[in-house]
């Protein structure tokens, strides 16, 4: 995991949920964690499987940044999957 990916992971775990994490940064972080990423060909949904747990997220559009509620969901997913910072 490179420094940018580590920074993204730390940002997700902050008490105050940031509103400036870009979708591509989150996907890059998941790839570094060796998560399986399943893209939905018909829409903006992405399935992510990590350590036996799964989540579906939506790619934001037209903006690049993830919504705060989505970042909170990702944090809960990471906790369940056993990811720690």
What pLDDT, on a 0 to 100 scale, did the predictor assign at position 13? 94
User: How many angstroms separate the CA atoms of 65 and 80, rounded?
Assistant: 23
What pLDDT is attached to residue 2? 94
Place of tokens 């400036």: 20
Dihedral angle sign, alpha carbons of residues 80, 82, 83, 85: positive
Q: Where are the domains of the chain?
A: 3-80
pLDDT (tens digit, 9 = 90+) per residue, 32-83?
A: 999 999 987 677 889 999 999 999 999 888 899 999 999 999 999 999 999 9
| pLDDT at site 41 | 67
**Cα angle vertex 66, ends 65, 67, to 5°?**
120
54 with 48: CB under 8 angstroms? yes
Closest CA to 67 of 10, 29, 28, 23: 23
- Predicted TM-score of the model (pTM): 0.91
pLDDT at site 40: 79
């Amino acid at each position: 995991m490179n420094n940018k990916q580590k920074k993204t992971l730390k940002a997700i775990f902050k008490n105050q949920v940031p509103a400036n994490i870009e979708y591509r940064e989150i996907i890059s972080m998941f790839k570094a964690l060796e998560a399986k990423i399943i893209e939905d060909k018909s829409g903006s949904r992405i399935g992510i499987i990590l350590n036996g747990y799964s989540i579906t997220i939506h790619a934001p559009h037209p903006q690049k940044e993830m919504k705060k509620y989505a970042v909170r969901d990702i944090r809960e997913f990471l906790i369940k999957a056993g990811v720690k910072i």
